[in-house]
Structure 1
């Protein structure tokens, strides 16, 4: 009977089983993260001292939104004399610099069409601050995007994390415009899931978190040690995270520091942004993947798992899906062209494609449902839209498949995304209070 069973197993079956096994081995630990979050709460911190901070904002043609971000920094429940705001007006062709100055920021215009990208702009800003404002004694630098808005207690909560010894920390990333459409909702759920079921679990387990674009601080000691911001890949945030872990630094997370971020609402903008992210992740994997793999065995024991976790974060896991679908599609195409006549393998390929895509959709639907219900009070929308967007979230995530595939072969050029949404953060305060008490 075994001989008969194995006689029906083809190399297609073996290949698909290996892909499924690799995916399972690599990412099952994230299900444990869910268990940790649902059964344990992060430790509450208390600050003994208020520290001196600089908020650094890289902005390109962001006159419509940057004023509100600066205002949200100026009205923090934190001593205003301990926060200075710096804006790098990066290759702007509008009045971003003027709006930022009027709102109370110190502005550095930058014009450089060769070194393009947020990483280069941040490096320029840090170097100017270090040379011209060194006497102000900044202990840490906060990095924000111009479209962000901060909860009034943001700096107070992040100060607790810094005061307790963190050299870097990310924060809780919520969205201004969850209910704009299915695209913005897809982003919002993804970032909420990242905050709750990745970074909060990492915090609880005392391993390193990962910085995600905006809403984080870095100790001035790290900036000084590196001579500025030396991370210039397309996803400089992930590059910084990978490099920090390799150097034995632990990135923390502050779940009570809430930041609101504007999400794209058109598929074109979403494609351009996520294409850049996908390309950037490939870059980070290429530059840091081997060192992280080595670090799993050779780094000090306290950071070995962090190396593994970061490797899985930057590893092109989506490629496993792409490879499986592409491989099986080739088998079907060869059969259709008459170059292969093995009906069993064709049937296996068809079923494997369906199984792969269906599994991905089901997995994403489960995460979307879980995130939505756990973070229900933090999602600012109607009940109907919250339920509706749980069902569209898997389709939003499915669009990552062609994006990741194109990013393998196409060159990426930075393309601006227009931001225009302003919100009254006070409208969100009550729901955030409910979230913190939960």
Structure 2
């Protein structure tokens, strides 16, 4: 776990990891205390785990911290079969290592777990995050897994074979190291798989302002990775005629997808809610019912997923403000594309020490 000033939240995770249903002598826990100015290292050490302190004012961010830790890990006398990356604010299901071990024994080299929101009911923003990830888990990760395509890494709850890491190196230090490592794996013909029964719980920002900062970093990193890896993946997919590689290239196209949805909303508004269509006949080339139907389909997929995922009825209240959350993606995406050369890492502050027992209740 890479941790920057996480003394408030790291304790519950470390306690959680001590209670996993797995032989305790078969896994080690390392905390990368990355440029910490608080008591993160002392808290980590009090739980009997390895607290590794790192100070670097130039190479900041999780990607650099993980790379630094791996270099130290390979030098240790006790070598490992796989590495799992978590964030300091996470919690995990007790069967997590059992499920990852199953996948490794099946021959998979890169595995992503089910991504759950730890604090869905803290605010309308966190509930919007939860709805988004319920959709991603069901309609993106599970669907792609069912079709034999590559899953995408989520930055946390991901398991990577140690031998593979030594072969290709980490070398993923962009603002979205998970997107970058996914692209590099698929470029080598290694397809990450999906472990739906292993769950990682991730804390989400409570306020819209902090959410915007986090998602802007994601879009900048995603755009940067698309610039580096999208063209090579498309060319390789044409050479190998493997749809999975083309599909991975389309994942890097994600920021443009948001802008496409924005265009649908704008065109719908121009035709249905304003008199502009009387001035521009071109807008009427698509009938009103088609715009209405398209928007209904785009929205109804979310409550459909919630039904399939058997979410509690109070979660459906989040659908009231969810369109606002979705709409904020559009300026964030546009700004992210235009400022993708900004590599500044913005830390998301976490303050709630939620325990795994609180989630079970």
* TM-score higher than 0.5: yes
Structure 2 partner of 1:12:
none
Q: Which runs of 5+ in 1 are unaligned?
A: 1-56, 331-341, 431-438
Equivalent residue runs for 1:2-401 within 5 Å? 57-131=1-75, 133=76, 135-227=77-169, 229-299=170-240, 301=241, 304-315=242-253, 316-321=256-261, 346=280, 348=282, 362-377=296-311, 383=313, 385-401=314-330
- Alpha-carbon displacement from aligned partner over 1:157-196 (angstroms, at most 9, x marks no partner): 1111111111010001111111111110111121222122
Q: CA deviation at 1:371?
A: 1.9
- Deviation larger for 314-323 or 149-158: 314-323
Alignment partners' CA distance in 2, 1:113 and 1:236:
19
Structure 1 partner of 2:331:
402
Secondary structure of the residue aligned to 2:29 is: strand
Secondary structure of the residue aligned to 2:121 is: helix
Q: Is the 8 A contact 1:324 1:356 kept in 2?
A: no
Alignment partners' CA distance in 1, 2:210 and 2:28:
32
Runs of 4+ in 1 over 3 A off after TM superposition: 321-330, 342-352, 354-364, 426-430
Task: Give the alignment's Cα RMSD to 1 decimal.
Answer: 2.7
- Alpha-carbon displacement from aligned partner over 1:371-394 (angstroms, at most 9, x marks no partner): 2111125xxxx62x3121123223
Alignment partners' CA distance in 2, 1:361 and 1:416:
35
Q: 1:414 aligns with which of 327, 345, 357?
A: 345
Q: TM-score normalised to the size of structure 2?
A: 0.89
Alignment partners' CA distance in 1, 2:229 and 2:290:
28
- Deviation larger for 416-425 or 395-404: 416-425
Secondary structure of the residue aligned to 2:94 is: coil
Secondary structure of the residue aligned to 1:284 is: helix
Alignment partners' CA distance in 2, 1:114 and 1:289:
28
Alignment partners' CA distance in 2, 1:395 and 1:277:
19
Q: TM-score normalised to the size of structure 1?
A: 0.74
Secondary structure of the residue aligned to 1:250 is: coil
Over 3 Å counting, the alpha-carbon distance change for 1:357 and 1:424 in structure 2 is farther
Q: Is the 8 A contact 2:277 2:284 kept in 1?
A: no
Over 3 Å counting, the alpha-carbon distance change for 1:191 and 1:327 in structure 2 is closer
- Alpha-carbon displacement from aligned partner over 1:90-141 (angstroms, at most 9, x marks no partner): 111111111111122211111111111111110001001112x2x2120000
- Alpha-carbon displacement from aligned partner over 1:64-114 (angstroms, at most 9, x marks no partner): 111111111111000011110011111111111111111222111111111
Q: Which runs of 5+ in 2 are unaligned?
A: 271-275
Q: CA deviation at 1:343?
A: 7.5
Alignment partners' CA distance in 2, 1:375 and 1:283:
33
Q: CA deviation at 1:367?
A: 2.4
Q: Is the 8 A contact 1:213 1:237 kept in 2?
A: yes
Structure 1 partner of 2:273:
none
- Deviation larger for 277-286 or 316-325: 316-325
In the alignment, does 2:358 pair up with 1:424? no
Q: CA deviation at 1:423?
A: 2.7
Q: Is the 8 A contact 1:361 1:395 kept in 2?
A: no
Over 3 Å counting, the alpha-carbon distance change for 1:359 and 1:264 in structure 2 is farther
Secondary structure of the residue aligned to 2:337 is: helix
Q: CA deviation at 1:357?
A: 9.0
- Whose radius of gyration is greater, 1 or 2? 1
Over 3 Å counting, the alpha-carbon distance change for 1:161 and 1:328 in structure 2 is closer
Tell which has more relative contact order, 1 or 2 (C-alpha 8 A, sep 6+): 2
Alignment partners' CA distance in 1, 2:38 and 2:289:
50
- Whose helix proportion is higher, 1 or 2? 1
Alignment partners' CA distance in 1, 2:259 and 2:327:
13
Structure 2 partner of 1:339:
none
